[in-house]
Amino acid sequence: MSKESSSEHLRAELKNLADTLEEVLSSSSEKSKTELDKLRHKAQAALSSSRERLGDSGERLAQTTREAAAKADDYVRENPWHGVGIGAAIGVALGILLSRR
């Protein structure tokens, strides 16, 4: 699943959750106890699903970050002088930016 479709799916789930909660809050006085129980169950299911999705997204992000860090570490270990040069260039750029303040 691509990031864009995953993001769209998550937005749709959160909208569904918000709509369900809005329905529960706006019509609580007009509904019978059974209808309220059904709405409450629907809201709990949507919330649970959204929490699960957010947890999965966070885990995927953490995994991607770990992989990127490992690749960067491998690159620096294989090409140490490139790493030193890149670090020096970043340091010079930051020094210039900070000295302008």
Per residue in 71-90, pLDDT (tens digit) is 888 887 888 888 788 888 98
Q: For the packed helices 33-78 and 3-26, what is the interaxial angle rounded to 10 degrees?
A: 150
What pLDDT shows up at residue 77?
83
**What's the CA gap between 20 and 31, in Å, rounded?**
14
Question: Is residue 60 a contact partner of residue 10, using CB atoms and an 8 Å limit?
Answer: no
What pLDDT shows up at residue 78?
85
What pLDDT shows up at residue 92?
93
What pLDDT shows up at residue 93?
92
pTM for the whole thing?
A: 0.40
Give me the residues of the chain with pLDDT under 70, please: 1-6, 24-31, 101
Question: Is residue 19 a contact partner of residue 50, using CB atoms and an 8 Å limit?
Answer: no
Tokens at 44, concatenated: 């709990």
What pLDDT shows up at residue 80?
82
What pLDDT shows up at residue 8?
75
Alpha-carbon torsion angle 3, 4, 7, 8, nearest 10: -150
What pLDDT shows up at residue 18?
77
What pLDDT shows up at residue 73?
82
